[in-house]
Amino acid sequence: MNLELVFLGLELEFSINLPFPSNGNRSCRKLTFQNSKFQYLGIDLSIEINYHVKMVKRNYSIDVVLHALSDPTRRQVIERLGNGPRSVSDLALPFSMAMPSFMQHLDILESSQLIYTEKVGRVRICYLNQNPFSVMENWLQVQKSQWETRLNQLDSFLLKTRGKI
């Protein structure tokens, strides 16, 4: 990653190699560079750079997404995440099931890429990933358009043949 910094009219350009997670199960990575020392004319230009890279796969299987949404518990989790990120324990509160059973539901949602999680301290936070929904929306729009065309053709055929029967 090349960074360009303009400070008091002085352009500084430097490169940083950003590591990506080695564990394929994690969908994001946070890293903080601290105590980076840059000096210009004896002035200490110490900076702190924070970055957050969210690695999301590009292809979404509609079959997997529909399977994940086929369960009412998982649909309720998606509805609750529509209001914003929540912790796993907060999401599990309204359900009368053991935490390992609830975690299986979250694993299915995460494997279908409908949600992603991030561990903040001792708390795991769940976030809604909206990309699979836009893919599904596009697919549904195509289906709706095809069926509207077919129904319009049937309607016009029935109107034409109304007096002939």
Residue 13 dihedral angles phi and psi, to the nearest 5° = -130, 130
> What is the model's pLDDT at position 78?
95
Contacts of 113 (CB under 8 A, 6+ apart): 56, 57, 60, 64, 65, 129, 131, 132
> What is the model's pLDDT at position 103?
95
> What is the model's pLDDT at position 46?
53
Q: Using CA atoms, how far apart are residues 91 and 57, in angstroms rounded to an integer?
A: 24
> What is the model's pLDDT at position 130?
86
> What is the model's pLDDT at position 41?
62
**pLDDT beneath 70, residues of the chain:** 1-59, 163-165
> What is the model's pLDDT at position 57?
46
> What is the model's pLDDT at position 35?
45
Using alpha carbons, select from 85, 55, 79, 71 the residue that is nearest to residue 133: 79
Q: Using CA atoms, how far apart are residues 155 and 29, in angstroms rounded to an integer?
A: 55
Q: Using CA atoms, how far apart are residues 97 and 129, in angstroms rounded to an integer?
A: 25
The tokens describing 149, both together, are 């065309």
